[in-house]
Every structure is written in C-alpha cells, then in structure tokens.
Amino acid sequence: MTAQLVLGGLSAIVALIASICWIKAAGAKVLSKYPDTLGSGFDGVMNVKNEKGEVLDLVGTYEKQSYWNSKAALLSGVAGLLAVLGWSMTPFLQILASMELPVRILGRGDNDLPL
C-alpha cells in the first residue's frame, strides 16, 4: 500500500508541474524587435498583432510555446506511467508474495527452500 501511495503522490505532483508548463505555453509570447513591421519582413521576420494590439514575433512565439508544450507533454506521460504503476503495484506485489519461489543457498547444491 505504501508504494501505491508514493507513486500516486508522485503522479499528482508531476501532473501539477505539467499543468503549470501548459499554462506557461498558453501565455507565451515574444514581442517583436521590429514593431513597425507587420506580416513578413526582411530577414524572415514574421510579425502579427495579438488581441491586445501588441506586435509579436510569430516564429519566436511559436518556439517558446513549442518548448513549454513539449515539457508539459513529457511530464504528462511520466505522470500517467507513475499512476499506472501505482495502480498496478499492489496486485503485482500480492501475487509475488503469494508465490513460493525456491531459494538456493550458496554452497549447498541441492537445498531448495521456499521463501
């Protein structure tokens, strides 16, 4: 039961961190160095206006959102694995504990003792 609680707690913590990463991704923006240029300009700069009227660097904003989204997705996967391990850990340990596995004592060739 203790392993299940620990894994469940770790899963919740990692899921919380993942949700913080997604919140950061949702609010990510990179202000343009060239606020007078909208659309595509020189040197591959692509600027757009957001709902507040700020001029954003589209590629920079995309990169920042991509960074936080990838972190959040990875952490969500880890949280899911921890939750599944925590959920399946108790039945697995119960099955393992109920099995009588032979133990060979070193130095004695034919002595098989159950655990």
Tens digits of residue pLDDT in 38-70: 777 666 778 888 888 889 988 899 999 999 999
Q: Average pLDDT over the chain, rounded to whole? A: 82
Domain that holds residue 91: 2-114
The answer to whether the CB of 82 falls within 8 A of the CB of 11 is yes
Report which of residues 90 and 84 the model is more confident about: 84
pLDDT at 103 > cutoff 60: no
* Total domains present in the chain: 1
The conformation of residue 49, written as its DSSP 8-state character, comes to E
Start-end of H helices in the chain:
2-26, 58-98
Angle at 77 between CA 9 and CA 10, to 5 degrees: 10
Residues 6 or more apart whose CB falls under 8 angstroms from that of 79 comprise 11, 12, 14, 15, 18
